[in-house]
Amino acid sequence: MKAIKKAKRPPAPAYGPQPWLQQHWDARAALNFMAGGAGSGLVVAAAVAAAPPWLAALGALAVAAGLLAVWAEIGRPLRALNVLRHARRSWMTREALAAIVLLAAVAAWVSTGQPSMPHAAFAALAAVAFIVCQARILNAAKGIPAWREPLLAPLILATALAEGAGAALLLLAPTAAHAAAAPAAAATPSVVLGWGLVFATLLRGLLGYGWHARLKVPRAQRKTFARTGMLFNLLSGLAVCFALVALASPLPAGLAAPALGAAGALALAGGAWFKFALITRLAFNQGFAISCLPVRGVPHVSPGGPHASPHASAHASPHPASHPLPQASPSVSVSPSITRHAAPR
């Protein structure tokens, strides 16, 4: 006699009053924020620390790689040029224009072959503009509470600066190990980048705490937010510890450079993890509420309220057949909090 199989739970619908994870942007969109933020932050770090221009060139390549990932995500890649047509109302258009200016500024800087303050300053300003545009893209998605929070924009900026300093320290670690032969010439960029990493990482930690504290995270999502924040804080804390050990302790140059490189790698990994989780794991929309149903005797529907669960059993109501939930009706009054789009244009 065959064993009776346990009845499986029906899959949750992709649309309903309960918040659900957005499916419009995947890992390719997250890669744009990861590579674009780290690359533009690397340009800023190279300009501030008077580092060699090839660091800025690598940052520009990272920005281009992130944009290429987004181009691979869209359904009709040949229409990508249409993004340049809406500069007055689209932060994606402004991001694309800022990327063009950034790539041109870095190319002009690299063509000089040496640290040039005017070229470096202009490239750094273009990189900051690119980061701000990326942050505002997320703020424009009003239907996702984790993205529309105003503190997310400075958090994205601080994360990009910490990633840039970390990437610069990681790339300069092999050359900084030989700083004992010429300490004044080789150690100065690493010291500036090290302290910049410490301050930027601490700043993004404070902003991240404030950003999370202002969010009203539903109980079903708290575990996901907690796991993401735990790994992010662990990587950031280790990065600060390694950087402080290398900067504040009397370590020889042969040991301080690897410690700074490890701090840079940890800061870079923490920022990348936060952005990946922000796009693919924490992007729950707010759900919606139906204030008035065209069925007499049925209460209103709201996230977490009566009839909100997609798996509510037939025993939830004494007469389930007489009180069906309407799927679509022109007489349904929907609250203004509905946002149908999970991602901006």
Q: What is the pLDDT of residue 65?
A: 94
The answer to whether residues 32 and 69 touch, using CB atoms and an 8 Å cutoff, is yes
Output the pTM of the full model.
Answer: 0.77
For residue 309, which amino acid is it? S
The mean per-residue pLDDT over the stretch 150-175 comes to 93
pLDDT over 90 (residue 218)? no
pLDDT tens-digit series, residues 17-76 = 678 788 888 889 999 999 999 999 999 999 999 888 999 999 999 999 999 988 887 777
pLDDT over 70 (residue 131)? yes
Chain-centre distance of CA 219, in angstroms?
22
Tokens 């950087």 appear where?
243
The mean per-residue pLDDT over the stretch 201-226 comes to 89
% pLDDT > 70, the chain: 75
Closest CA to 60 of 200, 167, 135, 159: 167
For residue 201, which amino acid is it? T
Closest CA to 133 of 37, 56, 65: 37
| CATH for 27-177+186-280 (2.60.40.10, 1.20.1630.10, 3.30.70.270, 1.10.490.10) | 1.20.1630.10
Half-sphere exposure of 30 (CA within 13 A, CB side): 17
The answer to whether residues 35 and 62 touch, using CB atoms and an 8 Å cutoff, is yes
The mean per-residue pLDDT over the stretch 216-236 comes to 87
The answer to whether residues 276 and 282 touch, using CB atoms and an 8 Å cutoff, is no
- Distance CA(250)–CA(226), nearest Å, equals 37
Tokens 């539903």 appear where?
218
Q: What is the pLDDT of residue 315?
A: 39
Q: What is the mean pLDDT of the chain?
A: 80
